Amino acid sequence: MFDFDQYLGFLAFLTILTIGFWLMIFLLTFVIPYWIGGALIERLKEIKEEKKAKRDDAN
């Protein structure tokens, strides 16, 4: 059915496919939400500081 070279190629293909699948799951569930959440928190801090600076300048 399979020669040994074809068998090794098939195993390499399955390994790469599986690694890619789990990498995508990891990125979509942990890394990207963490990145977006951190960016939002930093932006909210900047907006808060801008409002505080405007309030201090007005006084």
Does pTM surpass 0.85? no
Secondary structure string (H, E, C) spanning 4-55: HHHHHHHHHHHHHHHHHHHHHHHHHHHHHHHHHHHHHHHHHHHHHHHHHHHH
Tens digits of residue pLDDT in 1-56: 779 999 999 999 999 999 999 999 999 999 999 999 999 999 999 999 999 999 99
**2 vs 51: CA distance, rounded Å:** 69
Q: How far apart are the first and last CA of the chain?
A: 84
Tens digits of residue pLDDT in 28-42: 999 999 999 999 999
